[in-house]
Amino acid sequence: MTSLEQDGRYSRQVLFRGIGSEGQGKLASSRIAIVGCGATGSALASLLARAGVATIRIIDRDYVEPSNLQRQSLFDEADASESLPKAIAAARKIAAFNSEILIEPHVADLIPANIGDLLEGVQLILDGTDNFETRYLINDFAVKNSLPWIYTAAVGSYGVTLNVLPGKTACLACIFSDPPQGTFETCETAGILSSAVNLAASIAATEALKLLVGADDALRSTLLSFDVWRNERTEVAADKPRAGCRTCGEHDFLHLAGEGRPHITLCGRNSVQIHERHRPVDLAEMSELLKPHGAVRHNDFVLKFWHEPYEMTLFPDGRAIIKGTSDKTIARSLYARYVGS
């Protein structure tokens, strides 16, 4: 008998016929990845960790900020005031309510160069990202490696989710052949209702449970979208791959090949991410060097440097997020001046 059975932790879930003790046993040897741990990722991680998924790898590039607390359910005010990386804060929070499972936090931006390492050995990938660039990268990787993944997105009062089972159902590129171009609504422009994102994540987490326990007949094979404010719900058939799909039909993995992935990217409306070189930075040492130039604070995971009107957050791998500008040239010169070129 395992300790899980001894403490009755999962007894209510085992009573549910769709799971049962056989299903619970499968969860106890499941290994998944959640890419992005903002609002969607928090809800996915919380639901699946409580459900007893044995190993959950959480990959997120960001740190907790006060504006996250309205909807990102794994974080609290202390996380925000410490600027803890979301992956680390999530792992700590989950350990407090389920210490029997393994959380593998990675403070990293999922990119073509590291996706093979970061998603190695998982049986399911869940999308908690906020951008199409990463979703198409996940789609390429999942199709190439015949790994299921679940697309989930929410903005405003709207949410959408899709199960992608390579070789069986439509992939993301079957439905939307290219990432949307130009301006489209994001949380920063249209706002977001926490209830919309939590509903989308709940539906996706349930599909994940079905996949992990082998309840394939119960899996949804549509692109499901809903609007919790307007009370609208739409489903589009996604049970078959689209003939001629570049990704799952022709196996042309251009996102995995790294096309269209500049090293300096806009992240959010008024911030720029620099990840052109992966050179480790000693945050304590850097903190001393930066002191004469502005306010600086660091912990084991991030360094924050305020240099009016900019705010730079530096990670130990040399990656930085610079706030206060959307101008990549300004961001790069600031980085070069204070961190090195």
CB of 278 to Zn ion, least distance (A): 31
Residue type, 98: N
What residues have CB less than 8 Å from 48, skipping those under 6 apart? 32, 34, 56, 126, 205, 208, 209
CA distance 129 to 141: 15
User: Of 51 and 164, which has the nearer Cβ to Zn ion?
Assistant: 164
User: Of 60 and 140, which has the nearer Cβ to Zn ion?
Assistant: 140
Question: Is 142 a binder of Zn ion (CB under 5 A)?
Answer: no
> What phi and psi, each to the nearest 5 degrees, are found at residue 34?
-115, 120
CB of 58 to Zn ion, least distance (A): 27
Number of residues that bind Zn ion (CB under 5 A): 7
Q: Which residue has the tokens 């604070």?
A: 297
Helix (H, G, I), strand (E, B) or coil at 179: coil
CB of 63 to Zn ion, least distance (A): 34
Could you give the string, one character per residue 231-250, with x where binding to Zn ion holds by CB under 5 A and - elsewhere?
----------x---x-xx--
Q: Choose among 129, 46, 38, 39: nearest CA to 87.
A: 38
Question: Is 223 a binder of Zn ion (CB under 5 A)?
Answer: no
Question: Is 164 a binder of Zn ion (CB under 5 A)?
Answer: no
CA distance 288 to 291: 5
User: Of 58 and 245, which has the nearer Cβ to Zn ion?
Assistant: 245
Question: Is 211 a binder of Zn ion (CB under 5 A)?
Answer: no
Q: Which residue has the tokens 């930075």?
A: 281
Question: According to CB under 5 A, which residues from 59 to 98 bind Zn ion?
Answer: none
Extract the runs of DSSP E, i.e. beta strands, from 62-207: 102-107, 124-127, 149-155, 158-164
Question: According to CB under 5 A, which residues from 242 to 301 bind Zn ion?
Answer: 245, 247-248
CB of 44 to Zn ion, least distance (A): 23
Q: Choose among 198, 210, 215: nearest CA to 46.
A: 198
Of 60-68, 69-77, 169-177, 291-299, which part binds Zn ion (CB under 5 A)? Answer: 169-177
Question: Is 173 a binder of Zn ion (CB under 5 A)?
Answer: yes
User: Of 252 and 327, which has the nearer Cβ to Zn ion?
Assistant: 252
Binding residues (CB under 5 A) for Zn ion: these are: 171, 173-174, 241, 245, 247-248
